Amino acid sequence: MASAYKEAVPVPEDFPVGLKVLVVDDDIPCLRIIEQMLRKCMYTVTTCSQATVALNILRERKGFFDLVLSDVHMPDMDGFKLLELVGLEMDLPVIMMSGDDRTSLVMRGIKHGACDYLIKPIRTEELKNIWQHVARKRCYVGKEHEHSGSLEYNDRLKHGIDESEYASSVNEGADVTSKTLKKRKDTKEEDDADIENDDPTTSKKPRVVWSVELHQQFVSAVNHLGIDKAVPKRILELMNVPGLTRENVASHLQKFRLYLKRLSGVAQQQGGLPSSFCGPLEPNPNVGSLGRFDIQALAASGQIPPQTLAALHAELLARPTGNLVLPAMDQPALLQASLPVSKCITLDQNVAYGQPLMKCPSNISKHFSQTVSSADNAHSGFGSWSSENLVNVVTCDNVTGMGAQNGNAMMSMMHRQQQQQRQQQEHLQKKSKLPEPSRSINVQPSCLVVPSHSSANFRAGNSLAPVNQNCNLSGSSIKDYNILSPQSNISPLATGRTPDIKIKSTGMLSGLSGTGSISATFSSGSVIADNGVGSQLQNSASRFVPDRQLTDIVPNISIMQDSYNATSGQMLDLETLKCTAFIGRETSIPSRFAVDETGLPIGNVNREKIRGENNGNKVKLEPNMNFVESAKAGVPMLRRLSPTDLMSVFLD
Amino acid sequence: MLVLGAERLRIDMNRLLALLFHQGVLDEQFLQLQQLQDDSSPNFVSEVVNIYFHESEKLLTNLRALLLNREFSDYKKMGIHLNQFMGSSSSIGAKRIRNVCVAFRAASEQNNRAGCLRALEMLEHEYCYLKNKLHELFQIEQQRLLAAGVRYPMQN
């Protein structure tokens, strides 16, 4: 705390004298007594018997008062409400007082950010000392300036992420290595310790450090409630973090909303955000190497210029713990997909496009209502997944690109290395996270990539595509998968081939809405990943006979391994999957995955529904891996999958 | 003799105060009040106590009205009144009233109507007792001041 003092605002010699205190209490005798006491202590006192009046006074004379003393029980407004408002609007130290000494009430006061809680009867001795709250605040403000921006989203964003060690709270964890995180945490703890050591009992509301974990909790709470319905109190309850006050949450929520708003605004203006956002993430495939997966969701208001397509770079196995970075464009709000920490995909290429990055903390579910305007994107072919349900995206080795056209859903599975995949499957079945190095899957933007979803048993990616938990695929359906080669912004364009691949899956894809056969166009889009690896799509019509492999299928999981194997002879290197995909829990996230050669980490996607919209197409994945057709397709690409249906396509 | 009278009145006052303290009617908070009284507010104690009585009477009336509503007793509102009553009582040092308030509130939280009624009667009793005693105290005070005031010109 010594450090705080040196920054203290110069204190007048007669400092406590004349301190301007506003006393609010509906209890007149008490008000009178406290007034008199404060006078005795040489404070300048203003009294008020109504909270609403007090609030008006405070608003009219902003900056006039140094301190507020408020009763808890007041008829016109709860003292805590006043406390919250004062804290939010003027950031004044507020001391609560009440004749009610029940612990729960005192705790409420603390949680709401009261810097002190006085039990009536209040004694002069207690009031003599209240100037310290003002002094502490002043010291504190000075101190906070030192750490400018540490709590400010905007500042942080402006600064970019150059100081990678301080990931912006929005991007927290996205690009931060666990190491630096830890480091940062430690320093924070020291700070906090300082404060606490100083004066634990009377310390002002401690500055809340919105750590990654805390922010994730916050976001998950917000998602749970819905961004529009989220109120500090409920969020606080959901978060259930000791020491966190409603005021803290309210303040954070405000900033969060601002941030979302700002993001969407930026997205509208320009498909791409200044590279400063993305800077740190840029081309490094290595970002994920630290074991962190970044998920970035971009909330775009509707339109994403094709140029802003972000490729997700997923690094799999080698980095078991990662965050998925999904650039998601979402109109109203950006939602973050929750990823289990251990399972993540990192996107690298996004940086190049300069899209705003959203980090999706794990276990966060968000609702994206995404509207991708098809017009702009028509040629680019976005695949966006909006999942209304929780989606824990665990990136498995398996990546499925799904595109639906004309009532035909296309699903593309990209995989390399068959054997590895099998191994992985086994691992997956075990739910073991075994990273298998060197798998690169690239999905073209027109494709939706679905990370494997453990609960749903849907695995996209190398080899596994469990569609339904029941593993029901309509048997004997011929599927033509067309991969659309989007004209992606990625420098190397994929040559769009539309080979027709027919896959017979008996018993699989059973639930497809209406059509047992799905024709999808594969466009062999060879995209060069950052790695500089040119991917070649071999357009070969391959037939998958799932039946053989059904035996291998773990109950509740339909695995397309066989088909995979069948095609295995045909090695397709789809190295880039660009997909606008939303993966989120209960959220629809339009996002694009670019998967580079990295193996996809095995992930569990707990998503109950995934909706993907490609160019206005919606694909809904239900936990059962069902696709619902909900799309209108002005664009040929629209397709709906009935929720009960699962479509998985392997691209080989 | 006037000086002696003032002195005697002061002793009476202290005796009465001691009694009230002994009975637990008042606590040291009342002394705080007395210490707050100074030249700038010479009648501070009686002023506050009068406000207190005024407010308390309203609260008591409200509480009684709430309890007498047989169909629906708004215990929550009762609790709010009681909290205020507790706050103001403790602020002037009316210890016993505050204690009764605590019991009252406990009864109201349990929707214990009978308990509330009992507590209300006790409260009214305590209230009247305190009011009488404080009234007496202030009267002695007035007399003492009067006696002391008479003394000044004589000394001067």
Please state, for a pLDDT cut of 70, what percent of chain A lies above it: 27
Nearest-angstrom CA–CA distance, A441 and A469: 24
What are the chain B neighbours of A33 within 8 Å (beta carbons)? 33, 36, 48, 91-92
Given CB atoms, is B83 within the 8 Å cutoff of chain A?
yes
Interchain contact A40–B (C-beta under 8 A): yes
Residue A479 pLDDT exceeds 80:
no
Q: What is the mean pLDDT of residues A487-499?
A: 37
Instruction: Place A364 in a pLDDT band, splitting at 50, 70 and 90.
Output: very low
Q: Which of B29, B33, B51 sits opposite A28 (nearest CB)?
A: B51
- What phi and psi, each to the nearest 5 degrees, are found at residue A307? -70, -20
For residue A641, name the pLDDT band (cuts at 50, 70, 90).
very low
Q: Which H or E run includes B136?
A: helix B113-155
Using a pLDDT cut of 90, give the percent of chain A over it.
7
Coil, strand, or helix at residue A577? strand
From the list A97, A93, A92, the residue with the least C-alpha distance to A123 is: A97
The C-alpha atoms of residue A227 and residue A365 are separated, in whole angstroms, by: 11
Whether residues B90 and A121 touch (CB distance < 8 A) is answered with yes
Q: Return the pLDDT at B151.
A: 54
Which of A26, A40, A121 faces B84 most closely, judged by CB atoms? A26
Kindly provide the b/e burial profile for residues A355-375, where b requires at least 16 CB atoms within 10 angstroms of the residue's own CB. bbbbbbbbbbbbbbebbbbbe
How many angstroms separate the CA of residue A134 from the nearest CA in chain B?
A: 24
d(CA A75, CA A500): 73
More confident residue, A423 or B117: B117
Q: What is the pLDDT of residues A310-341, one digit of tens each?
A: 333 333 333 333 333 333 333 333 333 333 33
List all residues 6 or more positions away from A205 whose beta carbon is below 8 Å from its beta carbon: A87, A113, A114, A115, A245, A247, A248
Nearest by Cα to A305 from A369, A370, A376, A239:
A376
How many C-beta atoms lie closer than 10 Å to residue A197's C-beta?
Answer: 10
Which of B29, B49, B51 lies nearest to residue A121, judging by beta carbons?
Answer: B29
Q: Is the pLDDT of residue A466 over 90?
A: no
- ipTM for the predicted complex comes to 0.91
CB of A122 less than 8 A from some CB of B? yes
Name the CATH superfamily, with its identifier, for domain B45-140. HPT domain (1.20.120.160)
Compute the Cα dihedral for A204, A205, A206, A209 and give only its sign: negative
Mean pLDDT of A465-481: 37
Q: How confident is the model at residue A140 (pLDDT cuts 50, 70, 90)?
A: low
Contact A29 B83 (CB under 8 A): no
Question: Would you tell me which residues 54-73 of chain A have a C-beta closer than 8 angstroms to some C-beta of chain B?
Answer: 71, 73
Q: With an 8 Å Cβ cutoff, are B80 and A26 in contact? A: no
Record: contact B80-A40, CB cut-off 8 A:
no
pLDDT digits (tens, 9 = 90+) for A598-611: 333 433 333 333 33
Q: Do A27 and B88 touch (CB under 8 A)?
A: yes
Question: What is the residue-averaged pLDDT of chain B?
Answer: 88
CB-based contact, B92 to chain A, within 8 Å: yes
Enumerate the β-bridge partners of residue A98: A119
Q: What is the pTM of this model?
A: 0.41
pLDDT at B10 over 50: yes
Q: How far is residue A46 from each of residues A36, A61, A65, A123, measured CA to CA in Å?
A: 11, 12, 9, 18
Q: What is the mean pLDDT of residues A271-279?
A: 38
Mutation target vs B (from A34, A42, A100; most B CBs, 10 A cutoff): A100
pLDDT for B99:
93
A36 touches chain B (CB under 8 A): yes
Q: Which residues does chain A have within 8 Å of residue B48's beta carbon, measured at their own beta carbons?
A: 29, 32-33, 36
- Domain ranges in chain B? 45-140
Compute, in degrees rounded to 10, the torsion defined by CA atoms A220, A225, A228, A230.
-80
Can you give the pLDDT at residue B147? 83
Residues B150, A52: Cα–Cα separation, whole Å:
48
Contact: A28, B92; criterion CB under 8 Å: no
Q: Extract the tokens encoding A528.
A: 């060069």
Mutation target for B interface from A34, A78, A120: give the one with most B CBs within 10 A.
Answer: A120
